[in-house]
Amino acid sequence: MSKRFFTARAIVIHPTLPKRNKKSTRLKEDLLKEAVGLALAINLQIVSSKIITLNIINSGTFLGKGIIEKLKESILYNKINLIIINHPLTPIQQRNLEGSLSCKVIDRTALILEIFGKRAITREGSLQVELASLNYQKSRLVRSWTHLERQRGG
């Protein structure tokens, strides 16, 4: 039996929208279970996994203020350093969530790219994953390096 070395303590969240998604509860549970399995594939320690029902999507943070406050408490109490949202996030939503939660936040796409990156064996495979990852990250790097900007002189 091999030992698993966990790299981060994580919470996996599967959001649902009741008005748009009229599928069974079992399907939601299966999707959450799949997301947890993906996270375990890269040796993350899953402290908690939750299905969260969203009445509306907050355009700035994806999650509502109440959910964010509950997550903050859970992050502090459980010493969480990664939140996985099993749904695509816009770059702005990801950045705002990271700022609100003071914790790294990734979506399903980033999680899958991380799995491919860890499992790529050949040089070609590694380069293909790196290219896909860079394409994904390029829009998320906006305003990340503002501390290096220079003031313009007259």
Structural domains of the chain, with CATH = 9-108 (3.40.50.11060)
pLDDT, tens digit (0-9, with 9 covering 90-100), for 21-37: 565 556 899 999 999 99
pTM: 0.82
Write the DSSP assignment of 20-87 as a string of letters. T----HHHHHHHHHHHHHHHHTTT-EEEEEEEEE-SS-BTTTBS-HHHHHHHHHHHHHHT--EEEESS
Packing angle, helices 91-101 and 65-78, rounded to 10: 50
Phi, psi of 48 (to 5 degrees): -155, 150
Question: Which residue in this structure is represented by tokens 């050949």?
Answer: 122
Q: For residue 103, give the H/E element and its range.
A: none
pLDDT, tens digit (0-9, with 9 covering 90-100), for 98-137: 999 999 999 999 999 999 999 999 999 999 999 998 888 8
Question: What pLDDT, on the 0 to 100 scale, is given for residue 5?
Answer: 54
Question: What pLDDT, on the 0 to 100 scale, is given for residue 153?
Answer: 55
Pick the residue with more confidence: 7 or 102? Answer: 102
